Chains A and B, each alone.
Chain A
Amino acid sequence: MTYLAKPKLHHPKLPVNRLGYTRRDYEGAVSTLCAGCGHDSISAAIVQACFELDLPPHRIAKLSGIGCSSKTPTYFLGNSHGFNSVHGRMPSVLTGANLANRELIYLGVSGDGDSASIGLGQFAHSMRRGVNMTYIVENNGVYGLTKGQFSATADKGSKSKRGAVNNDSAIDLVTLAIQLGAGFVGRGFSGDKAQLVPLIKAAIEYPGAAFIDCISPCIAFNNHAGSTKSFDYVRAHNEAVNRLDFIPAGGEITMQAAPGSLSEVPMPDGSVLRLRRLSEDHDPTDRTAALNYLRQREAQGEIVTGLLYLDPEPDDLHAHLHTVPAPLNRLGDAELCPGSAALERINAALR
């Protein structure tokens, strides 16, 4: 298997964004995932979100771990630096990258095996630290590349393709993320692009740790009866709590007339999150209420999607560490090296 570039030709009338880029400029190589894989829909949503946000592709760094989901950064944002790192360890690599240059946008892509099984520790600690990033887990409850073993997000009692029953409790990443201090927590479904694209856009603009758990059925190993991560099951049990529109700072409002109640959440940079609440029971700015709501709906067998929790006062690791505004990777000798005169004084104090 070698690299397959997508043809560069595209329709001359493809719409361009404010930077003059078409949607195609945000694409990557041809996907090598199975035809119909939910992950490809998520890649398409990421492309759409970055296009709509007018992001310069080279100012985004995309990082992943290992697995089907972690292969996807090759298939979007071909003009961005990418890093396919170590299984379960994307969060630490992303954290380090973020420390080196706070000006770039960091997109972490992971899977349920990568984040909930082998990498649960790093997932948890990156949330606690408030690394400014968008962390997307493409969650199918199964190991695809190794052919169908359960992952830690597989629901207790769900059946594998071969008929084995999962006896272990499932890890719910959104609940964990909220508990651990992530500032922005949402859940999407790869089959619902209308909900997913604004969710990704809002997560990218959020200046703190933003986490999206995206249910993404595995059509090869987890799309059968008995699976709780199949297209049919998720469609039947999806409970969308809100519809989201994201309005960047100074951007025009493109939202259509919203049914249900509407609330606006202003972000520090002047952008606005507009939440169309579908459920009056859910207040996404109340951490305790958000957790309670998730538990209640889960008990009803529902998979809640939408923006689940939002800390309206975001902060991030750089704020905690009081780092200078300039990226650390741009500091030179003059700013970093105290010089020989200072060393002489140090020597003198060591005698």
Chain B
Amino acid sequence: MSLKLERVNDFVVKFANVNGSGSASANELFARSILRMGVPVSPRNIFPSNIQGLPTWYEVRISEAGRLGCRGGVDLMVAMNPQTWTEDVAGIEPGGYLLYDSTKPLPPSQFREDVHVIGVPLTELCNSVYTDPRQRQLFKNILYVGVLSALLDIDVKEIERLVGEQYRGKDALIGPNLEALKLGRDYALSHFDCPIGLKVRRSKALGDRIFIDGNSAAALGCVYGGATVAAWYPITPSSSLAEAFGRYCGQYRVDPETGKNRYAIVQAEDELASIGMVIGAAWNGARAFTATSGPGISLMTEFLGLAYFAEIPAVIFDVQRGGPSTGMPTRTQQADVLACAYASHGDTKHVLLFPEDPRECFEFAARALDLADRLQTPVFVLSDLDIGMNERVCEPLGWDDSHRMDRGKVLGFEELESGKEFGRYLDVDGDGIPYRTYPGSHPARGAFFTRGTTKDRYARYSEEGPVYVDNMERLIKKFETAKSLLPQPEERRAERPARLGAIYYGSTSPAMLEALGALQSQGIALDLLRVRGFPFHERVAKFVAEHDEVFVVEQNRDGQLRVLLMNECGIDPAKLVPVLHYDGAPITARFIVREIAERASLARVTPLRKSTP
């Protein structure tokens, strides 16, 4: 065997485990210990629709350069699940490493010649120390973290500190955990030449960045943004958002004097009721949101149409996943773009925001609450499982204390009392956004009847065609107004003028940026534009116009953002080249590079014979 991977602070470790075996906290301990050494990591849970028994993986990319996208390939496989052994071993890069439990001997046919095998009798070691079956199981996980600390030269002090923090208050658990850690580490140090070719070295690359999952960050954004009502129905991968909101509210939203809550959270009977409650609360002047995923969006669509027509603010977090039913839904996709953009019956269009990481989940959550009030319409925050449920290294969350909630155009008692004209659907300012009143504001003025379509500028019932058209035209004007209020697209120009461009959004960011560097080194100049909101800012169409061809990089089958670009900006489909990744795993830089490089080189081929006139 000649090749041996030699890498410092730049490799991928993958853990293959059995769901419910207690591996998750040990794996997270591993990832966090590297973070504590100042080296960025990006872990990803790949989990089944199951609580116990099915295969689950935890993949950690260690990257001093801060590449947080999924790389593809594995440099060190910790193969703890016999069920998936074959595919796990096959996924290792040539020259990579395989750590396994060697308690029971395996035939040579089960191994690869181009992979360095590290066998540790984990079960045997564990059984020699622990008698309780549950402890044997749990400490086996800590044991392999100890082994890895030696193999990869991780500072064991950092792990010990993390164990101390994790079990603070349950001190009895600290000792046995540290013991298991030492057991594994000592075994590795005395049996192998440590470190192996892969090594973690203390760094300052992480800086002051934080480590948080997108759902928690979004929940925190809702707390900061002033949401007081949350209604939700459990659905992976969004449930942790609503649950985190509950946790943060418990910390930050309890009246210190009375112990009473400045928030209300209802776990509704289904998604129809969730969005109904959000709409009811927002109609009545509270900031309200729901968190869901694709199937929930499907169920909410009737209500979303009503909210669009009746002009009621609502914030919907769609943590996207793969398709209907069960199974793929625990994998990631960006496949609800069209379903959200055009949700419901009748002529409807909705405002969408596309956060790229937890920091933007936080920022866009608070911003969505402002936008929904300002625009009086549903606003979707489209994240996905990849950023929603995985912890990610990102810039610290920031808040400007001078920020005040933008409650939009609301007439209160004073304005109504002063005799200011009120027409609920009257465009006073020419931006398509009318004024509204909250119920109960004034004894004699400002009351109106809320209904879907059939009303005039003063909210009076009318079934007349021109009155309907008048209202629909105003709604389009309001949608135009939205363009200038949404987060603007981010552009990144190549060093030299490029004829090719790429448009991407959401969780594709880290893979796209990594791909950019690789493409540059292949001599392919590419301009980038990251879409952050819909309706599209005018710069998006301009960007397309400036390039011969624009790749639209997405994580769905049908090129949904591409369809939206064609439909809303009137762009020639031939100019928009789809680059689509949708197998449920997060998109990788390798995939993007391959797709774009191939097409870029095809485009460079000179025709053999020029067409004759």
Residue numbers of A with Cβ under 8 A of B are 1-3, 29, 56-59, 61, 63, 73-74, 78-86, 89, 91-101, 103-104, 121-122, 124-125, 129, 317-318, 321-325, 328-333, 335-340, 342-343, 346-347, 350-351
Residue numbers of B with Cβ under 8 A of A are 35, 208-212, 220, 223-226, 228-229, 231, 252-253, 255, 258-266, 268-270, 272-286, 288, 302-303, 306, 396-401, 403-405, 437-444, 447-452, 456, 460-464
CA distance A342 to B460 in the complex (A): 47
Minimum CB–CB distance from B56 to chain A (whole Å) comes to 24
Minimum CB–CB distance from B456 to chain A (whole Å) comes to 8
The residue that A58 contacts in the complex, of B404, B442, B451, with Cβ under 8 A, is: B442
Contact A331 B262 (CB under 8 A): yes
Contact A83 B283 (CB under 8 A): yes
CA distance A103 to B283 in the complex (A): 15
Instruction: With A58-B441, A101-B440, A322-B261 as known contacts, state yes or no: A93 contacts B255, CB within 8 Å.
Output: no
Contact A99 B260 (CB under 8 A): no
The residue that B224 contacts in the complex, of A125, A324, A343, A351, with Cβ under 8 A, is: A343
CA distance A231 to B456 in the complex (A): 37
16 pairs from A and B in contact (CB 8 Å cutoff): A84-B449, A84-B450, A89-B303, A92-B268, A92-B273, A99-B264, A100-B280, A100-B282, A100-B288, A101-B284, A125-B273, A324-B262, A328-B262, A329-B286, A331-B262, A340-B401
Residues in A neighbouring B260, C-beta threshold 8 A: 322-325
Interface of B is mostly: loop
Residues in B neighbouring A317, C-beta threshold 8 A: 264, 266
Report the nearest A residue to B227, measured CB to CB. A336
Instruction: With A56-B443, A122-B269, A340-B401 as known contacts, state yes or no: A350 contacts B212, CB within 8 Å.
Output: yes
Minimum CB–CB distance from A230 to chain B (whole Å) comes to 30
Q: In this complex, which of A2, A59, A317 has the most chain B Cβ atoms within 10 angstroms of its Cβ?
A: A2
Residues in B neighbouring A122, C-beta threshold 8 A: 269, 272-273, 276
Minimum CB–CB distance from A204 to chain B (whole Å) comes to 15
CA distance A338 to B275 in the complex (A): 26
Closest 4 CB pairs of A and B: A96-B280, A92-B276, A100-B286, A96-B277
Minimum CB–CB distance from B464 to chain A (whole Å) comes to 7
Contact A346 B269 (CB under 8 A): no
The residue that A347 contacts in the complex, of B397, B400, B401, B403, with Cβ under 8 A, is: B397
Contact B447 A79 (CB under 8 A): yes
The residue that A86 contacts in the complex, of B303, B399, B439, with Cβ under 8 A, is: B303
Contact A100 B253 (CB under 8 A): no
CA distance A99 to B276 in the complex (A): 12
Contact A321 B265 (CB under 8 A): yes
Residues in B neighbouring A346, C-beta threshold 8 A: 220, 397
Contact A84 B277 (CB under 8 A): no
Residues in A neighbouring B265, C-beta threshold 8 A: 321
Instruction: With A58-B444, A339-B401 as known contacts, state yes or no: A99 contacts B281, CB within 8 Å.
Output: yes
Residues in A neighbouring B223, C-beta threshold 8 A: 336-338
CA distance A346 to B284 in the complex (A): 32
CA distance A157 to B229 in the complex (A): 45
Q: In this complex, which of B223, B225, B396, B440 has the most chain A Cβ atoms within 10 angstroms of its Cβ?
A: B440
CA distance A94 to B284 in the complex (A): 10
Contact A81 B448 (CB under 8 A): yes
Contact B268 A125 (CB under 8 A): yes
Contact A2 B464 (CB under 8 A): yes
Contact B259 A61 (CB under 8 A): no
The residue that B279 contacts in the complex, of A96, A104, A321, with Cβ under 8 A, is: A96
CA distance A82 to B439 in the complex (A): 8
Minimum CB–CB distance from B482 to chain A (whole Å) comes to 24
Residues in A neighbouring B403, C-beta threshold 8 A: 333, 337
Residues in A neighbouring B286, C-beta threshold 8 A: 96, 99-101, 328-329
Report the nearest A residue to B455, measured CB to CB. A3
Contact A96 B396 (CB under 8 A): no
Contact B228 A331 (CB under 8 A): yes
Minimum CB–CB distance from A257 to chain B (whole Å) comes to 37
Minimum CB–CB distance from B524 to chain A (whole Å) comes to 37
Known contacts A324-B255, A324-B262, A329-B285; 17 further A-B pairs (Cβ under 8 A): A2-B464, A58-B442, A61-B284, A79-B444, A81-B440, A81-B448, A84-B451, A85-B279, A95-B276, A96-B278, A97-B280, A101-B284, A101-B285, A328-B229, A331-B262, A336-B405, A346-B397
Residues in A neighbouring B210, C-beta threshold 8 A: 347, 350-351
Contact A96 B284 (CB under 8 A): yes
Minimum CB–CB distance from A125 to chain B (whole Å) comes to 4
Residues in A neighbouring B279, C-beta threshold 8 A: 85, 93, 96
Minimum CB–CB distance from A23 to chain B (whole Å) comes to 17
Residues in B neighbouring A330, C-beta threshold 8 A: 285
CA distance A346 to B221 in the complex (A): 12
Residues in A neighbouring B284, C-beta threshold 8 A: 61, 96-97, 100-101, 104, 329
Contact A81 B229 (CB under 8 A): no
Residues in A neighbouring B442, C-beta threshold 8 A: 58
Contact B447 A78 (CB under 8 A): yes
The residue that A336 contacts in the complex, of B262, B397, B443, B450, with Cβ under 8 A, is: B262
